[in-house]
């Protein structure tokens, strides 16, 4: 199923992905998840709900804004306490989205636990889209052999 991989996803620099995820305070992570979800939705039957995607993006924006506002007003701890709830909800949605994309990529690749292209859940939980892009790039390299 690696042929499916090459017709759905694109090779991209893992270093660029890493740098942009850090420099944009996670906004690039959201962009990459959105891009992967669109690619999956356009080319497979393994759809990820657009409502879920947009809800997660809105929650991320609200969470980032409230955390930024609370850091600017760090002398008022009540503001920080109130932003923690929305951040927790946003984080739950983010993790669910990462898991959905990871599982669908594994299905598209046809990877099972222990395979070279299998997206390990532990590593995915740490490196998110950086690791996903690395495995996609690896899949392209394998298909050109």
Considering only 42-51, 54-63, 74-83, 93-102, which range has the smallest mean pLDDT? 74-83
Cα separation, 116 vs 95, in Å, equals 23
Dihedral angle sign, alpha carbons of residues 87, 24, 61, 93: negative
- CA atoms of 73 and 16, how far apart (whole Å): 33
The predicted model scores a pTM of 0.89
Confidence of residue 144 (pLDDT cuts 50, 70, 90): low
Indicate the domain borders of the chain: 2-143
Q: Identify the pLDDT of residue 115.
A: 92
Write out pLDDT tens, residues 56-72.
999 999 999 988 888 88
Does position 18 have pLDDT exceeding 50, yes or no? yes
- Give the percent of the chain with pLDDT over 90: 69
Query: Residue 66's closest CA among 89, 84, 51, 48?
Result: 84
């Amino acid at each position: 199923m690696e042929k499916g991989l090459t017709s759905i996803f694109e090779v991209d620099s893992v270093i660029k992905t890493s740098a942009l995820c850090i420099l944009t305070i996670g906004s690039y992570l959201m962009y990459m998840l959105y891009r992967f979800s669109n690619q999956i939705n356009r080319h497979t039957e393994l759809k990820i709900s657009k409502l879920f995607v947009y809800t997660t993006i809105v929650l991320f924006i609200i969470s980032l804004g409230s955390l930024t506002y609370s850091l600017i007003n760090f002398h008022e701890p009540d503001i920080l306490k109130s932003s923690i709830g929305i951040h927790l909800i946003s984080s739950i949605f983010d993790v669910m989205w990462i898991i959905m994309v990871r599982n669908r990529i594994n299905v598209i690749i046809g990877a099972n636990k222990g395979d070279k292209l299998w997206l390990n859940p532990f590593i995915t939980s740490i490196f998110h889209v950086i690791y996903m892009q690395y495995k996609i790039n690896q899949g392209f390299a394998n298909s050109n052999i």
